[in-house]
A and B are shown apart, each in its own frame.
Chain A
Amino acid sequence: MKVAELLEKRRQNWQELERLCEQLQNRRKKNIPAAELSRFASLYRAACADLALADSYQLPSNTIEYLHRLVGRAHNQLYRSRSFDFASWTETLFVHVPQRIFRDACVHVAFFVFWLVFILSAVFAYANSSFPGYAEFLLDDATTTQLETNFADPLNGRDPAADFTMACFYIKHNTGIGLKCFVACIGVVPGLFTLLFNAAHLGACFGYMARPDVEAGRNFFQFVTAHGPFELTAIVLSAGAGLRIGMGWIKTNGLTRLDSLRKTAKETLPVMGAACAMFFFAALIEGFVSPSAAPYWFKASVAVLTSGLLMFYFVVLGFPRGAREL
């Protein structure tokens, strides 16, 4: 059979397949009758066979090119993206993620680096007589003035609408920062830098505000107590997860660098999800509880409660179980 005749025979099939591709792309899948779907499958198989035999048919090259495109399009309509597997999320979030965090050396490193630097920086900034000028060196005048003016007035509550706005702002702002920190950690150095800088900066703020001669300090601690546990943990967690990804292509465990990077990224994204959830809760507390006029014991008990929850999550859920080796 000559190519011209063959093409004439096949042309209708191919054009029908094109039409069906178009339909599958634009219409909802449920609205397409089963007969058409099975017709699509058989047309796709036929087109595949034509492509496979193109050489022995001696099809001209532009027709082969056309067939490649056609089979590609049909392939993409036949094998479709899988959406989220919501059912497995609970298990991931409450079983796999805590255990991963508990074992993950990068999270440990991030944890110790952050808190060590934080506490040291706070001490340096607090003890103005022993380390003169430290706080002023790290926090420029604008920052200290802003801190003092922001917390000059005692917290006696805002109106609820403003609370809501601020909670939303914290969700957007802090979670965004967390995500950016996580992504930036893919090159280890920027991640470590961000972590160290945040730790030193925050520590200096805390130390500075704790000085007895800073009037606004009392209000400051009233404000930060409630949401502190969630927020600081989330910062540590996103840095830890980011460092893990960064280590993925440095320490490969025998995989190629790219495969190792891919593997760690897949494993750490749920950890980042947990960090995002923490940022979210922290933002809610920061928006509604922290600025309220509630007495300090209430805010402190919120902090104790959230710390307890975090402990439960990391230690009880995360304690390695022999039976469940990941």
Chain B
Amino acid sequence: MPADSIQIDSTVKIVTPENIAFRYQLAGPFRRFPAYLIDVAILLTAYVILWCVLMMVLSAALQGAGAAIGAGVGMVIWFLSTWLYGGVFETFMNGQTPGKRIMGIRVLTVNGQPINGLQAIMRNVFRFADTFPLISIQFFAELFPADAADMPPMFFIPTFLVGLFTMTLSKRFQRLGDLVCGTIVVIEERNWLAGIAKLDDPRAPQLASFLPGDFVVPQSMGRALATYVDRRRFFSLARRREVARHLGEPLIELFKLPSDTSHDLLLCALYYRTFVTDRLEEDSPRPVPPPVSNPYDPDKNGTVAGVNYASPLGRG
């Protein structure tokens, strides 16, 4: 991978103690906000359940005084949970809250290290600054003029504009709380090991055996080949031709192949030789005569991914 000094993607590069550099993908607001909403929903649900249980148990046990004590305990729990929920979870769940785990994101320090308890608490306390500016219910006065007009202005509806604004200014999608404690949020998902692209076309290995044996694919070309063969199954035939032409034409000249060789097939063959094997498997079926068909036939193109219906060495 290129050692990119200028960040152009939403990725950060982390150098581990093992002296390995690897990349993380940063999580933007549209992944982090749902995580926050999930957390709020979890918090509210847990709180309502707890409140009911507390009230029932205490009222049953202590009659009249129970409700008052329950209300008190409930308020303290509400205070602690709103200010400490994120901090405690991120400390003990290794940088994740339940919402973050569902959304597959994790908090790290800017160096890619795990966060400590102080950072976790701090970035969650400072979330309040990110919710600014708070707007009052009067802001929506036009929607329901009758109710809003006679209420005192209470600024409690968060807009998260400060956080959003700071995120856009920061290279690493950091909100104010992240900036203050030096943390980032990264995407941590498993993705499937795709491995080598399957070449369903038996003619690719065939053609591979015609390529000169002493030709060594340079690294950058190898990358291009791998990317192309990975992606080609999403391309239409015409698009394949268009893309493959750029590398195919000079290669045909180089290998002195017939000029009507399919560029796409040539790239597949080169891919096969570079990444899969040098040898042509002896037991592989001999090339079948080309089906006389329309290469643009959408049905056939759709049924077998990765098969070019052009004639073996021709463009059909």
Whether chains A and B associate is: yes
CB contact between A160 and one of B65, B189, B277 (< 8 Å): that residue: B65
Residue of A nearest to B66 (CB): A161
Does A265 interact with chain B (Cβ within 8 Å)?
yes
Given contacts A58-B274, A81-B94, contact A72 B129 (CB under 8 A): no
A214: min CB distance to chain B, Å: 24
Q: How far is the CA of A203 from the CA of B229 in the complex (A)?
A: 76
Q: How large is the interface on B (under 10, 10 to 19, 20 to 34, 35 or more residues)?
A: 35 or more
For window 59-77 of B, CB contacts with A under 8 Å fall at: 62, 64-69, 71-76
Interface string of B1-31 (1 = CB under 8 A from A): 1000000000000101010111110000000
Q: Which of A62-70, A111-119, A298-306 contacts B (4 or more CB under 8 A)?
A: A62-70
Closest CB of chain A to B2's CB: distance in Å? 10
Which of A122-130, A173-181, A317-325 lies on the face that meets chain B? A173-181
- Residues of chain A at the chain B interface (Cβ within 8 Å): 2-5, 7, 11, 14-15, 18, 25, 45, 48-49, 51-52, 54-55, 58-73, 75-77, 79-85, 159-162, 164-169, 171-172, 175-176, 179-180, 183-184, 186, 245, 258, 261-262, 265-266, 269
Query: How long is the Cα–Cα vector from A4 to B229 in the complex, in angstroms?
Result: 14
**CA of A83 to CA of B74, assembled, Å:** 26
Contacts of B277 in A (CB 8 A): 2, 4-5
Stretch in B219-227, B290-298, B304-312 with 4+ CB within 8 Å of A = B219-227
Tell me whether B20 and A11 are in contact (CB under 8 A): no
Q: Nearest-CB distance from A114 to chain B (Å)?
A: 21
B residues bordering A, Cβ < 8 Å? 1, 14, 16, 18, 20-24, 62, 64-69, 71-76, 78-79, 82-83, 90-92, 94-95, 106, 108, 112-118, 120-122, 125-126, 128-129, 132, 176, 179-182, 186, 188-197, 217, 219, 222-223, 226-227, 229-230, 274-278
Does A58 contact B275, Cβ atoms closer than 8 Å?
yes
Question: Which A residues are CB-close (under 8 A) to B117?
Answer: 81-85
Beta-carbon contact of B113 and A48 below 8 Å: no
Residues of A within 8 A of B226 (CB): 58-62
